Structures are given as C-alpha cells and as structure tokens.
Amino acid sequence: MRPKLLILCHGGNDFLRRLDEAKARRNVREMIALARRNNIAVVLLATPKPGLPPSIPIFYREIAAELGVPYEEDVIRKVLLDNSLKSDMVHPNGRGYAQIAAAVQAVLKKAGAI
C-alpha cells in the first residue's frame, strides 16, 4: 500500500551538520518530485536553521509557492522556542507534536484536502 500524503519536514539535520543550504534546497525539491512521481500529495513544513533565534530559510516558501505545495512555515520554530514543548534540545515532546499536528490539520483544511 502506498501512502497518499507525505508530510515533508526536512532540513534540520542538514542544518545541524552545517551542510550547504543549497543542498538542503535541492534535497527538498527532489523529495517533492519523487513523491509526485508516485502520486503522493505533499505538505511542506519549514525546518528552522539553528541560531538565536532559529530562522526559517526562505527557500521553503519559494519552493511551496513555485510547486503549489501546501505549506506551514512557523509551527516547528515555535515549538523549538518553547522548552515545555520539547523532550530535549531539538525534539518535540507529545505536546509539541500535538501542536505540529494541529498546524498540519489547518494547512490540509485550507488546501481543501479535509
């Protein structure tokens, strides 16, 4: 059975490893293309670059607009800024994941998918 939806949340590990942002951009584009070739819908979640404060690379918004992919820009950054929503320095806990899920649901509703 093939999935019908890919919730694409990529880039965090690339940024932590200090890989080139252009490479992260290419990776996101290639994953969207692969999903589409397999008739899998995509929702894109922006992953912030580490820093004080964490920042969202513009390429997520650009790719979403160019490819017509439903997009959520800020929920992961907001979760990462709130220690009560994290299980460690970089991973959400149950409450954090619940906020991310609610944001994805809102994007899917806005896109008419649910």
Q: What is the pLDDT along the chain (114 residues), one digit of tens a residue?
A: 889 999 999 877 777 777 788 999 999 999 999 999 999 999 999 999 888 888 999 999 999 999 999 999 999 999 999 999 999 988 999 999 999 999 999 999 999 888
| pLDDT score of 12 | 75
Give CA–CA dist 78/80, Å, rounded.
5
Contacts with 46 (C-beta within 8 Å, 6 or more apart), sequence order: 11, 56, 57, 60, 61, 71, 72, 73, 74, 76, 77
Contacts with 111 (C-beta within 8 Å, 6 or more apart), sequence order: 43, 70
| pLDDT score of 18 | 79
Please tell me whether residue 10 adopts helix, strand or coil conformation: coil
Structure-token pair, residue 43:
């929702």
Say what the pTM is: 0.90
| pLDDT score of 69 | 97
